[in-house]
Chains A and B, each alone.
Chain A
Amino acid sequence: MEEGQIARWVKNEGDKFDANETLAEVDTDKATMEMTALSGGTLLKILKSGGETAALGEAIAIIGKEGEDISALLAETASNGGTAAKSEPPATAGGSAPERNGIDRNEQPAPATTVEKPEELQLEKTSAETPAPRIAPQTNGAQRSEVSYQQSTGRMIVSPIAARMAADNGIDLRSLTGSGPNGRIIKRDIETALSSLVSSPKSQVGRAFVPSTVVGASQFREENTSQMRRVIASRLAESIGPIPTFYLTVEIEMDNALALRKQINATLTDNEKISVNDIIVKVAAMSLIKHPFVNASYQDKSIRFYEQADIGVAVAIDEGLITPIVRGANLKGFAEIAAEIKDLAAKAKTKKLQPDEYTGATFSISNLGMMGIKEFTAIINPPESGILAIGGANSVPVVRDGAVVIRNIMNVTMSCDHRVIDGATGAKFLQTFKQMLENPVLMLM
């Protein structure tokens, strides 16, 4: 066990508790464990609320005597990221609050060797993998001032060789906790990260992509991944490369969509006419908004949910292919999408695309229908979680209401990142996509 996620707090801030009472439930890799108090006291402050993850030894709450001044402790945990320094084993964990009476911490700006203070609850490594509270370590004045310096500057402190090794190995320094003085990230920390990188391929995701800060890219919110989601992610990734991909194929009857296109184009000039692909882009974008898990990205410890559907449209060019992006396609009309794709494709072919026009999509579409392809699978463009492979719409005999009729059938295969999208999640998205294409009037709902 290296970290745990607070499933929920059983006690609230201000609650009193006795020894052996359950304070919180913690999700570990294996199970949800109850965290019980070793001694009585009051839950003064929760530092990690339900859903948040804490590393072993990281402070998750402060317990002590009711009304006790915890400002110094709060400043300390805030400035060192909640990670307490190494402390003695919890032999003294029974120290009770009343013993700490009569000490005015406000008059001791630079405590000497021993500082009486409320306890920090920490996740602790035990043989039973059961988190247990213990007394926080004593911090001397010198260490404290170093810590507050780090806080005031907000700078990340990295030794030169550590920075170089991180760059060479594609390690995101922000994902590391430094073990040197002032939290300095040193060579040892990189070596540790490298060894864990070898053992768990999921960490590679961290280096894949830093979201574009380009204006116009989708805003997003991030929700912490559950412990189960992380295990699924790492196990599946170990199975198939860095992105555990699976494929879902659906047949879509395109007659209504083709009719819609015809009606729309009848009102437009030649330059303005829309293609089937433009309709697909719009429908996909609208479906994505209804299925946030498909319009999302796996970020190692969280899943990033995008607020708008920025659709990458694969365009073949002489050297290969590029995916210019229709930003906020869910918000745009067919004509607008058509004009935009035309413009982007032209720029792509003349290599005039700006980076913000082809990086940072939330989902992609690859259409080989016009090249006579009936069905294919496409490769996900990380950190997106899915891509639609659109085949050509062909007239085929199908059975409808007991009679054989001719319909235009289009095969669509979605490649899904299993770390984010489960089979049923992907299927539901495709269902919406299919329904909307088959009955475009649903787009109005």
Chain B
Amino acid sequence: MALLTIRDALNQALREEIIRDENVFVMGEEVAEYDGAYKVTRGLWKEFGDKRVVDTPITELGFAAVGVGAAMAGLRPVIEFMTWNFSVLAADQIINHAAKMLYMSGGQFKVPIVFRGPNGSAYQVSSQHSQAFEAFYANFPGLKVVMPSTAADAKGLLKSSIRDNNPIIFLEQERMYGLKGEVPEDDDFTIQLGVADVKREGTDCTIVARSMTVPLALQAAEQIQKEFDVSVEVIDPRTIKPLDIDTIVNSVKKTNRLVIAEESHYFASVGAEITYQVMDGAFDYLDAPIKRLSCAEAPMPYAKNLEELALPNVAKIVQAVKDVCYL
């Protein structure tokens, strides 16, 4: 095991997959000579050159389209969006082309492409650069949506995503690039898509968290254990689509209570979907209405204090757990 930041774990995954498969290449704004806006692609251009690491103009729709075409032609592109906020410019390529091609070509064209980049809030980057897109992309059939929360998950899931034959929406988190974690030192370390991970076992309440809310949920769980002797289970689905609902439903059957913490807005969110599916699969086991914490229903404020108020935090999660446990 090696102690790596999520940034370096992603870098390792890219490097190993570029070496492993000659069809893999990385493309995006400033990914080559500048080492990437967030340095996820650091050193790759120097090591592998122009053919495998490609700088593009500021044309999201254009380079996303080049990626989709390359994937149809047999390559395995990894397209970096400087942030997922810019992916809306490329949404036509992602939703109308990448996601539909296998179906509309009657299975003739696979599109093995990974779109990746930071998703959700950062530090005071305001309304246009703080949005979480998982619910948006997960809504369309044909796309897989992946959201790691640890260095090991980041590496294992990115490698699986690159090897997957479907278009993948790979959502990182800018605030988390520097988080360190143990990562297996195995070139072939992968994590299967569609499998949730129980980050902390517990018996009294389940928290489903993803990406940035996972470390918050773990802190909240520790605090609740100390203060109220309530044992909280924390589940990270890791893959939003396909969603490992069984792990969540089984946990709720055990704990009878569920809190969902997410960085996205609440309306038609992934939390809303999980709420429905848990109701469907564990209705008779619920002891309290499911509680959900989402981003405030407002464009993200620039002001630091307001930004903090808009997002889920440890105190809010603790309160939600208390609510569903009737404490």
Residues in B whose Cβ lies below 8 Å from that of A187: 256, 287
Complex: how many Å from CA A162 to CA B288?
A: 10
Check A179 against B287 for contact (C-beta < 8 Å). no
Given A161-B256, A186-B326, A188-B326, A180 contacting B285 (CB threshold 8 A): no
Check A160 against B326 for contact (C-beta < 8 Å). no
Residues in B whose Cβ lies below 8 Å from that of A186: 287-288, 326
Residues in B whose Cβ lies below 8 Å from that of A163: 284
Judged by a CB distance under 8 angstroms, whether B283 is at the interface is yes
Question: Chain A, 135-165, contact with B by CB distance < 8 Å: what is the 0/1 string?
Answer: 0000000000000000000000001111110
10 smallest A-B Cβ distances: which pairs? A187-B287, A159-B287, A161-B287, A161-B256, A164-B284, A160-B286, A160-B284, A161-B285, A186-B287, A160-B283
Give chain B interface residues in 214-253, CB to chain A under 8 Å: none
Residues in B whose Cβ lies below 8 Å from that of A162: 287
Complex: how many Å from CA A161 to CA B285?
A: 4
27 contacts between A and B (CB under 8 A): A159-B256, A159-B286, A159-B287, A160-B283, A160-B284, A160-B285, A160-B286, A160-B287, A161-B256, A161-B284, A161-B285, A161-B286, A161-B287, A162-B287, A163-B284, A164-B284, A164-B285, A179-B326, A180-B288, A180-B326, A181-B326, A186-B287, A186-B288, A186-B326, A187-B256, A187-B287, A188-B326
Complex: how many Å from CA A159 to CA B288?
A: 6
Complex: how many Å from CA A141 to CA B238?
A: 43
Main secondary structure on chain A at its contact with chain B? Answer: helix
Residues in A whose Cβ lies below 8 Å from that of B284: 160-161, 163-164
Question: Could you say which of B283, B285, B286, B287 has the most chain A C-beta atoms within 10 Å of its C-beta?
Answer: B287
B50: shortest Cβ distance to chain A, in Å?
Answer: 60
Complex: how many Å from CA A180 to CA B323?
A: 10
Question: Chain B, 287-327, contact with A by CB distance < 8 Å: what is the 0/1 string?
Answer: 11000000000000000000000000000000000000010
B75: shortest Cβ distance to chain A, in Å?
Answer: 51
Task: Give the size of the chain B interface in residues (CB under 8 angstroms).
Answer: 8
Question: Chain B: residues with CB nearer than 8 A to chain A?
Answer: 256, 283-288, 326
B252: shortest Cβ distance to chain A, in Å?
Answer: 10
Complex: how many Å from CA A200 to CA B11?
A: 65
Complex: how many Å from CA A187 to CA B285?
A: 10
Residues in A whose Cβ lies below 8 Å from that of B256: 159, 161, 187
Complex: how many Å from CA A186 to CA B325?
A: 10
Known: A160-B285, A161-B286. 11 other contacts (CB 8 A): A159-B256, A159-B287, A160-B284, A161-B285, A163-B284, A164-B285, A180-B288, A180-B326, A181-B326, A186-B288, A187-B256
Complex: how many Å from CA A163 to CA B286?
A: 10
Residues in A whose Cβ lies below 8 Å from that of B283: 160
Residues in A whose Cβ lies below 8 Å from that of B326: 179-181, 186, 188
Residues in A whose Cβ lies below 8 Å from that of B288: 159, 180, 186
Complex: how many Å from CA A159 to CA B282?
A: 12
B270: shortest Cβ distance to chain A, in Å?
Answer: 23
Residues in A whose Cβ lies below 8 Å from that of B287: 159-162, 186-187
Residue of B nearest to A188 (CB): B326
Complex: how many Å from CA A163 to CA B288?
A: 12
Residue of B nearest to A164 (CB): B284
A156: shortest Cβ distance to chain B, in Å?
Answer: 16
Complex: how many Å from CA A159 to CA B286?
A: 7
Complex: how many Å from CA A159 to CA B289?
A: 8
Question: Chain A, 261-278, contact with B by CB distance < 8 Å: what is the 0/1 string?
Answer: 000000000000000000
Residues in B whose Cβ lies below 8 Å from that of A160: 283-287
A169: shortest Cβ distance to chain B, in Å?
Answer: 14
Complex: how many Å from CA A162 to CA B256?
A: 10
Question: Chain A, 175-193, contact with B by CB distance < 8 Å: what is the 0/1 string?
Answer: 0000111000011100000
Residues in B whose Cβ lies below 8 Å from that of A164: 284-285
Complex: how many Å from CA A179 to CA B288?
A: 12
Complex: how many Å from CA A354 to CA B14?
A: 76
Residue of B nearest to A187 (CB): B287
Complex: how many Å from CA A160 to CA B282?
A: 9
Residues in B whose Cβ lies below 8 Å from that of A188: 326
Residues in B whose Cβ lies below 8 Å from that of A179: 326
Complex: how many Å from CA A162 to CA B284?
A: 9
Residue of B nearest to A158 (CB): B287
A108: shortest Cβ distance to chain B, in Å?
Answer: 28
B321: shortest Cβ distance to chain A, in Å?
Answer: 15
B154: shortest Cβ distance to chain A, in Å?
Answer: 36
Give chain A interface residues in 178-222, CB to chain B under 8 Å: 179-181, 186-188
Complex: how many Å from CA A160 to CA B287?
A: 6
A189: shortest Cβ distance to chain B, in Å?
Answer: 10
Residue of A nearest to B323 (CB): A181
Complex: how many Å from CA A163 to CA B285?
A: 9
Give chain A interface residues in 409-429, CB to chain B under 8 Å: none
